[in-house]
Structure 1
């Protein structure tokens, strides 16, 4: 079997194991994929295998291929093994059947991110079979990424930090293409991700009987006004090099480019087409109002209400910055609310002048010689942030065919009828094999 064939067979097994993470501790059961991966490496020389389980069934597997030179740079491949739930009636294929048709493999996790996980495992096994390289190569099949890593990468980075190197890490996603305005090509590498600054805004009002509402201070009216003011908040456009490079890579006309870089015209985001929402997200602090709660009985005026905000921060935007932004938006209501902090994690970004980034850039250049490589940040999260917090660099890497735009790749994430083109799997296998040998060899 070729390396691609081995990868495809493994990918089908990982999809069929249906390690669905619904964000509860007993879900996921990534032990099924960990055991599949352990069998995949069974009998392979030159590997050390470790399995860890912070909660029954929530298993991560670590496979290490020692390098011949202890001073050589190491490389760690972080592939998560859990997937998100499915809305079964919305699927036209079996979400866990791993069916191959129309040049694609269908199934939950085929794109996010089991095709990369399977690729990383297969390339690691091939390197081990050959006796290893100069630098140490580690593959980690990580549990619980879809629930922010509390039983996976976060736990590993806190409780077992020294089991493998976090210095140079690769994970999801990257390698898709930008719809450049003049019809030329550009290919992306994920170098960072936005942070989280979740908030719960509390307000109080007068309790009372629903039949006598006159002259009451209504918690519901107040929380509605809080929501209205936050929706109208003045959120400034990013001024960093990554946003500037992303805009310039599209080769818009000078007027559109200037409007996007200066933030003077929200309407200019329409020029990104299918990427308009993503482009806005990675150029602003975003505040999504997602949950509101007040009252229990229809005949009782509630004395308390709250609004939950899913806030995503750009690099450099601190908790204080977020709270100041909310207070400024609330104006004279700011003194009447309590701002409760929920999950807060700062944004993380890796440099574009590291040896690993340069290797990725070179490999992508071999696939797409005329396409500039464009660093981007993700609007969501990945396990790479834990390595960055420990002082390492981390990049999202894959290789997609020229026809696969960034918008199309993102559109498959957590979607109904999630599917990966087999051409992209073959390209990603070749890409990872090249990167590992270039970086470690």
Structure 2
């Protein structure tokens, strides 16, 4: 069997293990995929690999595979592949979500794109390095639990409790490798170099309690929170002035007027399927997602609160977020309590780094006429923990030119999630090439 065949077989089993993480205690049970991966590495000659399993809670297992290098001074490389997947609404799927069905050159299944095809690739290439030997730098493969719930029992827990179990210095994870077709027929391919941060907030207001039959002269918490929501919705965040945002827009090769408008934060509609993605990565975003007030229909509630999913750009800290909210609230600000929830600053890795150069050179081997464009992700990944510990982290895969960034992003957490088998084959070859460049 070829390396691609091994990867596809492993990928199907990882999907069928259905390690669904719905954020509730005991879900995920990534132990099933850890068992599969441990079996996958079985039968190698003694001393070629070491395997460690770490489990903060029963069933929430991460597996660490180490292939020692021949040169202690050589740079290590760590492949971070998460093994959990998000839930499915089976009524909306036309194919069984966990049967790993292959049809029309595609593999259907929850996690096929996010991110089990990369995880399987990482494992297969790591096993091949162990068989081959001769790698100067040490290679680590980490099958990580609990990524979909912000890494609490996975990469976050590992970074805080077992930071020396593997190297965080040079890391690869999801996803990258999709394309931006230029208006002039040109091609650009994405490498993720960073991700937005989280600055979740809960806004509390208080009013007068009382009987629902007598609202006269009552200070309504519901009316007040509605006005808070209206004012927050009116915030127009500053557009990024970073080279990453400008480079992303320029990759589309629009006419100068359209390009300048987009870079300055104009209507992203010309970006088509990527309009929402572009809006998200061009500035801080505020999504009002949860509103609570009252219990009984005949009781005036004295307390109401609004929860917001706020995503920040690099350089925007918690103080910046709170100033923005306070300014928007205006004269209401003294009556609003701002409670921070999950707060994580945005992270970014440099493009003038040997690992980024290896990724860029590899992508140019596949697509000689393409520009390689660094990009930040609107959501989170396990790479932020590597960056916080002083390492670098990049999202890498290889997709055929027909697979646009909009297509790849649209597959994440979607119904009938599917991967083109062509892209699996390309990604396997891509990881082989990167490891050859970086470790040998």
Could you tell me the TM-score, scaled by structure 1's length? Answer: 0.99
Listed one character per residue, the Cα deviations across residues 189-235 of structure 1 (whole Å, up to 9, x for unaligned) are 00000000000000000111111111111000000000000000121
Question: Whole-Å Cα distance in 1 between the matches of residues 244 and 97 of structure 2?
Answer: 36
Structure 2 match to 1:331: 330
Name the SS for the 2:151 alignment partner: coil
Matched, 1:208 2:200: no
2:144 pairs, out of 139, 142, 145, with 142
Q: Following superposition of structure 1 onto structure 2, how do residues 285-296 of structure 1 map, counting pairs within 5 Å?
A: 285-296=284-295
Structure 2 match to 1:82: 84
Question: Whole-Å Cα distance in 2 between the matches of residues 183 and 117 of structure 1?
Answer: 32
Structure 1 match to 2:225: 223
Q: Which ranges in structure 1 are unaligned for 5 or more consecutive residues?
A: none
Shift of 1:181: 1.6
Structure 1 match to 2:42: 42
Structure 2 match to 1:22: 22
Shift of 1:179: 2.5
Return 167-176 or 248-257, whichever deviates more. 248-257
CA RMSD, 1 decimal: 0.6
Question: Whole-Å Cα distance in 2 between the matches of residues 104 and 273 of structure 1?
Answer: 25
The runs of 4+ residues in structure 1 deviating greater than 4 Å are none
Structure 2 match to 1:4: 4
2:121 pairs, out of 119, 122, 126, with 119
Question: Whole-Å Cα distance in 2 between the matches of residues 245 and 132 of structure 1?
Answer: 38
Shift of 1:303: 0.3
Q: Following superposition of structure 1 onto structure 2, how do residues 32-431 of structure 1 map, counting pairs within 5 Å?
A: 32-45=32-45, 46-263=48-265, 265=266, 267=267, 269-431=268-430
Question: Whole-Å Cα distance in 2 between the matches of residues 6 and 206 of structure 1?
Answer: 66
Question: Whole-Å Cα distance in 2 between the matches of residues 132 and 58 of structure 1?
Answer: 33
Question: Whole-Å Cα distance in 2 between the matches of residues 179 and 308 of structure 1?
Answer: 37
Name the SS for the 1:428 alignment partner: helix
Shift of 1:182: 1.4
Shift of 1:262: 2.0
Question: Whole-Å Cα distance in 2 between the matches of residues 408 and 342 of structure 1?
Answer: 32
Shift of 1:407: 0.4
Name the SS for the 1:190 alignment partner: strand
Instruction: Kindly indicate whether the alpha-carbon contact (under 8 Å) linking 1:295 and 1:301 is maintained by their aligned counterparts in 2.
Output: yes
Return 239-248 or 167-176, whichever deviates more. 239-248
Question: Whole-Å Cα distance in 2 between the matches of residues 304 and 260 of structure 1?
Answer: 41
Shift of 1:242: 0.5
Shift of 1:300: 0.5
Question: Whole-Å Cα distance in 2 between the matches of residues 150 and 262 of structure 1?
Answer: 37
Could you tell me the TM-score, scaled by structure 2's length? Answer: 0.99
Shift of 1:132: 4.0
Shift of 1:364: 0.1
